[in-house]
Amino acid sequence: MNFLDTVPAIRRIDTDRDDLFAIDVVGYVSAADAENLFGLLEAAYALHPRIDVAVRLVDHEGVDWADISDDTLKQGTIRALEHVGRCAAIGEPDWTADARRFMPVPAPVELRHFSAEEEAMAWQWLDAEPIGGQ
């Protein structure tokens, strides 16, 4: 297998907001994809102390949780709680209930799920729009 055989599952979505981190999650998310995602988020945090996030699931086939290090998951959760204001989850499955279990009460992150049909509402809630036919 060469690098052309696999396409990254995490793909950036350009938006009209600099402080919005928006991604498509396409297909199956490998441990390498997850590690890359955490790196991209760290770069976003370095540019903006507070960000909003949009996660659009496209033909989601699961996540390789077993091969993602516990330290990476723990640190990723801590950093998200420090930096994320709002997070819109678009598409299925709805993972927001699972995410809330890892958050303190009251949660510092506003987390909402939107079905694929409600995507326009998600962008409105985030006061943003994707740029270029996305």
List pLDDT tens digits, range 16-54. Answer: 999 999 999 999 999 999 989 999 999 999 999 999 999
CB atoms within 10 A of CB 80: 20
List pLDDT tens digits, range 67-118. Answer: 888 888 889 889 999 999 999 999 999 999 988 888 888 889 999 999 999 9
134 pLDDT more than 60? no
Domains assigned to the chain: 3-125 (3.30.750)
2 pLDDT more than 50? no
